[in-house]
Chain A
C-alpha cells in the first residue's frame, strides 16, 4: 500500500509535467487543428533556458521559470508566424509535416549550439524530503505540483473570464464567424501559441529540476506522451488535457513500479491506440461526423 501511494505521488509530479505540455497541444489543436509536433521541443528549449539562467546567470528558481516562460512564448509565436501561418489553408497533413520539420530544426539547432550530450541541472530547490506515513515526498515534487496547479488555475481564469479567452473560444468554434464578429483571428492564434508555449517552457524548467538533467532530444518522448494525454482527455478540451496528463503520468509510474520500465512507453502507446479506436474524441470529447 505504501509503495502504491509512493507511485501515485511520483505519478502526480510526472503527470503535472505532462499536463502542462498537453495544455499547449490541446489549445493549439483546438484553435487551428494542428498537431504542433514541435511543441515537445519548445519544452526542451524551456529547460535549456532554465539551465542557462540558473547555471550561467546564477538566477534562482522563480526568475528562471519566468524567463523560460517568456522566452518560450516568444519562440512559439515566431514559429507560428514563420512556419504555420502560410499553411493555414493547406491540408492538415501539410501542416503536420511542417511541424515535424520545425521539430527537427529545433532539435538539431540545439544540438549544434549546446552539444549533443546532456547537461546536469543544478538542484535549485534543495533535496529536502518529507516522510508522510512511509511515503517519501520531496520538496521538488511539492513545488512542481503546486506550480502546475497555480498555472492551470491561471489558465482557466484567462480562458473563461478574459476577453482574450473569449476570443480563443470563439475562434476554436468557428474562425470565419469569429472574424466576422470582429475578433482578430491572427492575434488570437498568436496568443494561443504564446500561452501554450509558456506553459511548455514552465514544464521544461520543472522537468530539468526534477530529473537534474537537460538534453537536446529530451522533448521528443515527453512531447508525444503529452500529446497522447491531450488525445486521451479529448483534444481541444482544456480540462481534458489536465486530466489526461495526470492519468498518463500515474500509469507510467505504476508500470515502472510494478512491471518493467522497458515497457512503460509501450503501455502509453497502447493506451493511445485503444482510446483512438474506442473513443477517438477522447474521454471528455464529442464525436463529430463529416458533413456530406
Chain B
C-alpha cells in the first residue's frame, strides 16, 4: 500500500511497457518484418487510437454524446497543412501547426461547449454534429486551405513521433481520468443531478472534458496531415466522426483500454477488408447494431487495464489458496 509519489512500481511497469513496445516496433521495422505497407497501417492505427481515446473521454467518461469530433480533427489537419505549405514542410512545421491547431481547437471547443453542453443526450449529439459540419464548411470556404480541392503535402512524419503522441495522449487522458476532475466527469456520466448536488460544477467539468478531447482530436489531425500526403474537407465529414464513434462503441464506452484495442483490431480487420471497401461499410453498420443489441457495453464495458489491479488480483489469489 505504500506509494511514494510518482516513483512507484506500477509507474515503473508502465514505463517498461512503453519502452518494450517501442523497442519491439523498432526491431521489427529494422529487420524488415514490418514493411512499408504495414507501417502505414500502424501509423493509421496510432492516429485512430488518439481519436478514439479522446472521443471516449467525452462520450464514455463524461457521458456527453458528441458527433463533432471530425471537426476538430479537421482543424488540426489544416493547421498543420497550412504551416507545412507556407512555413516549413518538415517535422518542425507539423509540430508548429499542431500547436496552432491546439490553440484554435481550444478556442473553438470553448465556443462550441459553452452553449451546447447544456443540452442532453441526443440533442447534444445533433448540435455537435452541426458544429462539426460548420467547422468543415468554414474551412472549405477559406482561400488559404485551397477549398474543396484540398492540399497536397509531403510526408514528413515518421512512426516514432506518432508513437510518442499516442503515449502522451494515453498518459494525459488516463491521468486525468484517475483524479478528482476525472471522477467528477464520471459522476456527471452517472447522474448529473446527483453530481451537481454533491458540489460538482458540472458545466465546468463537461467543458473541461470536451475541450481536452477536442485538443487531442486536433493533434491527431495534424499527424494525419503530416503523413498521408493529401487533406480534403470531405475527409472530415460527420461520417469520420461516426467512424471514430464505432471504435469507441466497439471497445466499450468508458474504457480507454477498450478504445486502444478496438483501434488496433479494427485497423487489422480493415487490411483484410481493403479489397472490399464497399462491404466494409455494410459490416460497420451491422456491427454497430449488433453490438448495441447483444453487447451494449462493447468489448470491455468500462473495465480498464491497470498494473495495480493485476497485482492485487495475483497477490490475493496467492494468499487465498
Q: Chain A interface (Cβ within 8 Å of chain B)?
A: 35, 83, 86-87, 90-98, 100-109, 111-112, 116, 224, 227-228, 231, 260, 262-263, 265-266, 269-270, 272-273, 276-277, 280, 290, 292
Contact = CB atoms under 8 A, between A and B. Distances in A.
9 interchain residue pairs of minimum CB distance: A101-B288, A105-B285, A104-B285, A108-B281, A269-B130, A101-B289, A108-B282, A266-B137, A98-B292
Nearest to B294: A86
Among A87, A92, A105, A111, max chain B CB count under 10 A is at: A105
29 contacts: A35-B126, A92-B121, A93-B121, A96-B65, A96-B121, A96-B122, A97-B245, A97-B288, A97-B292, A98-B293, A100-B245, A101-B284, A102-B289, A104-B282, A105-B286, A106-B285, A108-B284, A109-B282, A112-B278, A227-B126, A262-B140, A265-B137, A269-B133, A272-B127, A273-B115, A276-B116, A276-B127, A277-B116, A280-B123
Contacts of B282: 104-105, 108-109, 112
Interface of B: 65, 115-116, 118-119, 121-123, 125-127, 129-131, 133-134, 137-138, 140-141, 193, 242, 245, 249, 278-282, 284-289, 292-293, 296
A29 B60 CA distance: 24
A100 B130 CA distance: 16
Contacts of B116: 273, 276-277
A104 B134 contact: no
A290 B122 contact: no
A290 B279 CA distance: 42
Given A97-B292, A263-B141, A277-B115, A104 B284 contact: yes
B130 A272 contact: yes
A277 B138 CA distance: 21
Nearest to B124: A276
Contacts of B122: 35, 92-93, 96
Contacts of B115: 273, 277
A292 B193 contact: yes
B296 A94 contact: yes
- For the complex, would chain A's binding face be called helix, strand, loop or mixed by DSSP majority? helix
B130 A273 contact: yes
Contacts of A105: 282, 285-286, 289
Contacts of A266: 133-134, 137-138
A68 B119 CA distance: 36
Given A86-B293, A102-B289, A224 B129 contact: yes
Given A107-B281, A265-B137, A280-B119, A290 B193 contact: yes
Contacts of A224: 126, 129
A276 B123 contact: yes
B68 to A, nearest CB: 10
A224 B126 CA distance: 9
Nearest to A79: B289
Nearest to B289: A101
A109 B123 CA distance: 28
A105 B242 CA distance: 13
